[in-house]
A and B are shown apart, each in its own frame.
Chain A
Amino acid sequence: MSKETGHSDHIPGTFVFTGKRSAKGLKLNKFAYSLAKAENREAFGKDPVAYMDTFGLSDWEKQKIIEKDVKALVEEGGGSIYMLIKIGAVTGDGLASMGAQQRGETLEEFMATRNVPLKQNT
């Protein structure tokens, strides 16, 4: 097995976006990246499964996207948070909501841990 450089997964709660994770999540991330285009956001909003099928996503990926399980998509699916956040442009979920889910908290619980709650992140 080749060694990847510059990082390891020794930091608790951290899943460094390595080449191998990027390869695993290529279709998933490409789907999320596509939502930067308005017409694609509209198509995904109208018929999520049909739109996801155009990217050849697996049943597991489609299920996790629909369940808004960002934690699974990042930790097991090779998802890049910078791409997955674009799904929120359609579903209305902000970064803080996705973060709370990854921490196993409600949005309210997470917001209570912050210095200054900013509505621009939720």
Chain B
Amino acid sequence: MGKIVAGVGSSHVPSIGSAFDQKAQESPEWKPLFDGYKPAKAWLKEKEVTHAIVIYNDHGTDFFFDKCPTFAMGAAEEYPIGDEGWGIRDLPTVKGDLDFSWHLANSIIGESEFDLTICQEMVMDHGLLVPLPLLFDFEPDWGVKTVPLHVNVLQHPLPTPNRLWQLGQAIRKAVESYPEDARVAVIGTGGLSHQLHGNRFGHMNENWDQEFLDMIEDDPKKLIDIPHDVWMERGGAESVEMIMWLGMRGALTQDVNKVHRSYYMPMLTGMGITVMEDKVASAA
């Protein structure tokens, strides 16, 4: 049977991917970031995660504004690594699970009435590729099968935070009705505070980032009524993508065991990771 064994929130800042590829993990400016992921990766390995559902957004890798799905989920055996302009990163093709993806589609669309676009071909973007190798083994091949779930957080109108929460609940229902064995990590990506345009470029807000991390862990429902404007005002316009973490959090129990958290704010973006699990899961 399918079971959600972990929830992870993670930034997906592209410079993390560049530093990773340049093997800058031990450099003084990057060590705090990469060290923050080590306990997360070790714990996920201990939990024997088989599948990762990754809620992320494409940034002009496979989707453009000509056709811009609000929610799009992959249903393929594999997902190629995209070229975002700077070449293709040296990572193995992301492995999917056709049967699991179509089960999720049938449940989320057919039972939870959540109208996803289903993609049988989907090219992977840094939104997913930055956190994935920090959380799971990938050499010589990926240790998990992945379901990419893209959310439009670029072109307004965006889905509401509450809609992300509902998506998380639909994901939970779908995973728990999967008849095969699957130990699933749901991963919400993006943020934290940053603004990349206008003369407010470079805006960051550590206080808000920490408050957000507290709320996503302890009181996530307080986040679902916050309008997009307020997210943008507090964390910077591009930080509104933090609503994607609610897709992860909505898939977990109200109370969670907090496993790990790390935060680093070097240059343009607050970088956060939080790892949690259902409260009941550890008691059992």
Residues on A facing B (Cβ under 8 Å): 4-8, 10-19, 22, 26, 29-30, 32-33, 35-38, 41, 71, 74-75, 80-83, 85-86, 88-89, 95-96, 99-100, 102-104, 110, 113-118, 120-121
| CB within 8 Å for A15 and B83 given contacts A82-B60, A120-B18 | no
**Residue among A15, A32, A80 with max Cβ neighbours from chain B (10 Å):** A80
**Is A85 in contact with B85, judged by CB distance below 8 angstroms?**
yes
**CB of B15 within 8 Å of the partner chain:** yes
- B52: shortest Cβ distance to chain A, in Å? 24
**Is A80 in contact with B154, judged by CB distance below 8 angstroms?**
yes
Nearest B residue to A121 by beta-carbon distance? Answer: B15
Give bound CA distance, A15 to B228, whole Å.
14
In the complex, what residues of B have CB within 8 A of residue A8's CB?
A: 229
Give bound CA distance, A19 to B197, whole Å.
17
Mark out the residues of chain B between 53 and 109 whose CB falls within 8 Å of any chain A CB in the assembled complex.
Answer: 59-61, 64-66, 82-87
| Leading 8 A-B pairs by shortest Cβ distance | A13-B200, A89-B85, A116-B266, A120-B15, A99-B201, A86-B85, A13-B199, A120-B18
Give bound CA distance, A12 to B203, whole Å.
11
| CB within 8 Å for A102 and B197 given contacts A36-B85, A37-B83 | yes
Point out the residue from B64, B87, B156, B228 that lies within 8 Å of A33, measured CB to CB: B64
**Is B155 in contact with A17, judged by CB distance below 8 angstroms?**
yes
Size of B's binding interface in residues, CB under 8 A: 44
**Is B196 in contact with A11, judged by CB distance below 8 angstroms?**
no
Nearest B residue to A102 by beta-carbon distance? Answer: B201
**Is A14 in contact with B232, judged by CB distance below 8 angstroms?**
yes
Given A36-B60, A71-B199, 14 more pairs with CB closer than 8 A: A16-B232, A17-B156, A17-B237, A18-B155, A22-B155, A35-B85, A80-B154, A82-B59, A95-B268, A104-B199, A115-B266, A117-B267, A118-B266, A120-B18
